Amino acid sequence: MISFLVCLAVLIGGYFVYGRIVEGIYGPDDRETPAVRINDGVDFVVMPKWKLFLIQLLNIAGLGPIYGALAGAQWGTSVFLWITLGTILAGGVHDFSVGFMSMRHDGASVSELTGIYLGNIMKTIMRIFSVVLLVMVGTVFAVGPAGLISLLIGNHGGSGLLTNTYFWLAIILVYYFIATFIPIDKIIGKLYPVFGICLLVMAVGVAIGIFTHGYSIPEIEFANLHPSTTPIWPMMFVSVACGAISGFHATQSPLMARCCKSEKESHMVFYGAMVCEGVIALIWAAAGSAVYARTGGLTVGLTEMLANGQATCVYDICTKTMGGVGIILAMLGVIACPITSGDTAFRSARLVIADWFKIEQKQYRNRLYICVPLLAAGALISQLNYGVIWRYFSWSNQTLAMIALWTASMYLYKNAKNYWITVVPATFMSAVSVTYFFCAPECLHLSTAIAYPIGLVAALVFLGLFFHATAEHHELFKHFHLFHHT
């Protein structure tokens, strides 16, 4: 229990200490933000800071810090350290960097930012990568809740159309279309802060319930407690994405960057929301470790519960820690949170495409040109068996985070700022992504004896390429400077 409380204190302290260091390096000032300068009443809309914080939290979180944290807890309480240090040193920096850079570039999406600082080839890759990932995320976050709603109604005596998954899928996709199409302050700006508060209340309720119902949170153990002995590195670092660092956040931060009245809101809106997500993840990892007893020193109980479905595990924990109130909050969480993350995924996809083809979004007609094909693609994908493809999401997610951090590193270098705050986590995430690709069962599935050295070498190569690029840039600058004075 002491380990949990220390990690919680470090997380909160990290917001006030390291978050301010990051803010000081980027140097927000009083220049006009895109929300003020462009203000098209659709995507560029000024909203209060507290709303932006709660919307950003809901957009980046959903069920990510719950499902990911529970999955990570299968390896044991060492997951507490990854959530804590990952959030402060990597996730918070990642989210702040993308949000801040987006404000400095007229609310540009992460793919456009990548092109500015890493070149056109990377921009094209990120454009395609982002849209495919976002449509896949949005679709899965529609199918899951649709199936759960129909199941709940059927279990409580319902019948007919209301127990049909496709009926609820159609309802959710129609909602997605509306939320993706209309101005951001109409539904997202009004309703999502409420859901953000509910997400926080659910986490606080679970935390209190752990203590009041007699559960004991184990201390941190540096041992692999996964029943299948799946290695901690890099599996745990990929499984716990939201709650430590997640590339999906890079697609969401520009949404709020287009709504900030001042650059100085970045600390609370971007870094603060990530720290809050880390706190939520830490609580759920603690719950998974405390509620389910170990067998033979391994997390067999948690693993068996997760095998029955992640939503089932969430219901079970909420019921055991909060009783009847927990059931209501769990229903809200596992249904509303995925939907609210899914629609912002489609909205982000619309903006990526709009940036890509330079399509102005103030006109209804222009938004329709993008929204209709996007939602049609989502409807088609929802009919496919994409279970195997979805297993690649975690790896793709962390790879996107890696690219976003290298983009931020080049931004900081070109602006003569301390780039080590992004270079270190970028190198680390490079090792994670490459190692996972070589050893994961759904990827190349090579032995760790092969994958580990390859991951390390690849990370060092990426680091070397960064310094090579900065050296070339420095030489070009010197030649230009001499030519100018000549």
- The answer to the question of residue 441 being in a domain is no
| Closest to 206 (Cα-Cα) out of 315, 284, 130, 316 | 284
Q: What is the pLDDT of residue 1?
A: 85
Q: How many Cβ atoms sit within 10 Å of the Cβ of residue 453? A: 12
For residue 340, the model assigns a pLDDT of 84
End-to-end CA distance of the chain: 67
Number of domains in the chain: 1
pLDDT digits (tens, 9 = 90+) for 338-389: 888 888 999 999 999 999 999 999 888 999 999 999 989 888 877 765 455 5
Look at residue 216 in the predicted model and tell me its pLDDT.
Answer: 94
Residue 249 lies in a domain: yes
**Spans of the chain below 50 pLDDT:** 386, 480-486
Check residue 441 and give its pLDDT: 86
- pLDDT for res 54: 94
Identify the pLDDT of residue 478.
Answer: 56
Q: Which domain holds residue 29?
A: 2-393
Residue 411 lies in a domain: no
CATH of the domain at 51: 1.20.1740
Give the pLDDT score at 477. Answer: 52
Which residues are CB-neighbours of 241 under 8 A, at least 6 positions away? 64, 68, 247, 248, 394, 397, 398, 401
Within-domain flag for 196: yes
- Whose CA is closest to 424, among 380, 473, 459? 459
Tell me which residue has tokens 């790879």: 399
Residue 452 inside a domain? The answer is no
Q: Is residue 409 part of a domain?
A: no
Would residue 317 count as lying in a domain? yes
Token pair for residue 26? 């980027």
pLDDT of res. 482: 46
Predicted local distance difference test score (pLDDT) of residue 392:
66
The answer to whether residue 309 is domain-embedded is: yes
